[in-house]
Structures are given as C-alpha cells and as structure tokens.
Amino acid sequence: MPKGIVLASGSVHRRELLKNAGVDFTVRPSELDERAIEAPLLDSGATPEDVAAVLAEAKATDVSQNHPGEIVIGADQTLALGDRVFHKPPTMEEARRTLLALSGRTHTLNSAVVLVENGVVTWQHVAVARLTMRELDPGFIGRYLASVGARALTSVGAYQIEREGVQLMEAIDGDFTTIIGLPILPLLKELRARGEIDG
C-alpha cells in the first residue's frame, strides 16, 4: 500500500509541479535556517551541487522526524557563477546587482531532490542546468525589475524562467523542471519504482 508523501518545501513552483503531475501529497515546509547550514559548507570548499544536496537532505530529514512511516521529499537549488553562489535577493537593489553580475555570462542551476523515510535518506538526485543570460542594458534591468516587482525577490537569480525572465536569456541547456527547482522526471521514476504512484 502506498505511503503518504510529504513535500518539505514551501515553494509554490515545486508544489505546482507535483500537483500537475498528479501526485497526492501534503506540504510541510521545513523551518531550518538554510544559511546557517550552508556557510560552513562553502567555507569547507563544498561544490554548489553538494550544497544543494545537503540542504535538500537537511530539510527533508527535519520534516521526517514528525512524519514517521511517510516519504518526505526534500528539494533545494543553488545558483553558481564560477565559484560564487547566489541567494534570493533580499532587496530590489540586490536583485539589480544579481542581474548585472549574470548579464552576458553562463550560470548553473543545481537542483537537488531527496527522499527521506524515518530520518534516513533513501534516494537522492542532483540535476544541473546551464543558462546563458544575454547582455543586459542597465536601463532594461531597471524596467524589467519595475515590471516584475517583488517577484524578483522570490527566486535565486531574480528571474522566473516561466514568466518574463525568459526574455533575459540567450541560451538554455537543461530540463525545465530543473530550472524551476524540482527535477520531476527522475523523482516520478523513483516513486513509480517504489509503487508509490501508478506506473
């Protein structure tokens, strides 16, 4: 008999991906301080992929403690430009700086997803997408941010590829769901293999 599935993320986009795929699940976001977990990882030389995987695992493990016998999905995403790791911009000025830094360059989005049962990681996957942003005129950046408003503060690169953010791009190499933040195809494959969803 299928177990309950819990999504340990408050992300509307991850929720929509799972819902649209027909997965029955509940949402229980983790309250962990991600930056506190991330800081020592970056100091120790962990790769952006490793950071995404550790954060996804930490969030799922945290939520799993209150959901014994259920499958908890943890997910996290990092954006890296060379050695620099970006976070969601706290202000519109920081969003502007993010876009100026990414302008004309190729960055990577590392999306990790894990399954945790009874506090133990039973499966994990990290998918990588590479996005090249076109050269952006500072005036255009200002108009873009004025147009999208506070939505620029809800994603790590200050853009949503499924909306106006696609206008910022010159090339995209990677799966759409990886860019959104939940590599859905490998996750669905694993859930089917376990008999948790119809296959």
Positions marked active-site: 76
| DSSP per residue, the chain | -PPPEEE----HHHHHHHHHTT---EE------HHHHHHHHHHTT--HHHHHHHHHHHHHHHHHTTSTTSEEEEEEEEEEETTEEE---SSHHHHHHHHHHHTTSEEEEEEEEEEEETTEEEEEEEEEEEEEEPP--HHHHHHHHHHHGGGGGSSTTS--TTTGGGGGEEEEES-HHHHHT--HHHHHHHHHHTTSS--
